[in-house]
Amino acid sequence: MIIALITDTHFGGKSDSKVFMNYIEKFYANVFFPYLEKHNIQTIVHLGDIVDRRKFINYVTLHDFKRIFVNRCAENDKELIGIVGNHDIPYRNTNEVNAMNELFNHSNVTFFDSPTEYDFDGCKIALLPWINNTNYAESMEFVKNTSAHILFGHLDLAGFEMHMGMKSYDGMQPELFSKFDMVCSGHFHHKSSSGNIHYLGCPYEMFWNDYNDQRGFHVFDTEKRELTFIQNPYRLFHKLWYNDTDKNFEEYTNHFNYEDYKDTYVKVIVQNKTNPYLFDVILDNLYKANPAHISIVEDNKNMDQQSEEEIISEAEDTLTSLYKYVDNMKTNVDKNRLNQLFADLYTEAQNVEL
């Protein structure tokens, strides 16, 4: 049996941004569901954080969520099985109230808010939702006693990268799950593996610190016990390097697909600008493509005094800049903990409705 595994879909992300919804719709319409149809995959397992907001859902987001994902599952007779993640619950100390129980009434949808074993065509798999103060003892007893050799969960484990280049130093110890042949987990958005544990990652980019990070979904073969990654080719964030000393007018104007930047976030990083007219033509073409936002990194006054490394550093995402600032601080404070605090605050700030 082949199962599709997806996690951290965060419908309603970026403060219910329509640009974000249009971006992720391309993934489901052109990548995810076509792959399932082509390979006759009938079962989808969601490993938590199906929605983004913990306490409520926007009506437009709910409409799009059902249209893009839920109804598509029902129309194509897909069985959707899932577990509750930390973004699916309004209270941090219990899974009892959760988005899954409140949103779904479809016969083909089954979600679990407590640990359980599920039989996938003869392959028994342990399903472990988000662990909180209330269900910790129950969850650890379940892990200890289950006879399943594979676990699907939404785990907060120390030592894994939350974002590319940023490890988590809090959380549970991975050794608690050493009995399993394979552990597949949601929660951290960066795809990574260590030993028997595999963080599957978010299927698409959400923030600038996701730039150039591999995104997509997985399929799992219950007979061969093999996990296969299917990459998402669509990107929400782009960096364009402008240097008119190594590209001529024709290369920039005739061999550049500006339509790729529609409804995306673009940073134009100026390395060398000797032809202002060409630069204006490029920006004009970019704006005509209707991106969600364009930012330009340059310093016309001090360009001759700046090194290329300094210009590039200005184009870094906010989180990377914060990490570098902390690393350069002279302090006795644990820098790993401070970096994690910045990461948590940054993620929370990205979801604040303005």
SS3 292: coil
pLDDT string in tens for the chain (354-residue length): 999 999 999 999 999 999 999 999 999 999 999 999 999 999 999 999 999 988 888 999 999 999 999 999 989 899 999 999 999 888 878 888 778 777 776 668 899 999 999 999 999 999 999 999 999 999 999 999 999 999 999 999 999 999 888 888 889 999 999 999 999 999 999 999 999 999 999 999 999 989 999 999 999 999 999 999 999 999 999 998 888 887 767 777 666 788 889 999 999 999 888 888 888 988 998 999 999 999 999 854 444 444 444 444 444 566 666 766 676 676 777 777 777 677 667 666 655 543
Instruction: Round to whole Å and give the CA distance between 49 and 27.
Output: 17
Q: In one letter, which amino acid is 93? A: N
Cβ(156)–Cβ(187) under 8 Å?
Answer: yes
**Which domains, and CATH codes, for the chain?**
2-231 (3.60.21.10), 237-315 (no CATH)
Instruction: Round to whole Å and give the CA distance between 191 and 140.
Output: 25
Q: Which residue has the tokens 């042949």?
A: 181
Which residues are CB-contacts of 257 (< 8 A; sequence separation ≥ 6)? none
Give pLDDT, residue 55. 86
Give pLDDT, residue 308. 46
Report the run of H or E that residue 120 belongs to, with start and end: strand 116-120
Which residues are CB-contacts of 297 (< 8 A; sequence separation ≥ 6)? 267, 268, 269, 270, 311, 314, 315
Q: Which residue has the tokens 């299927």?
A: 203
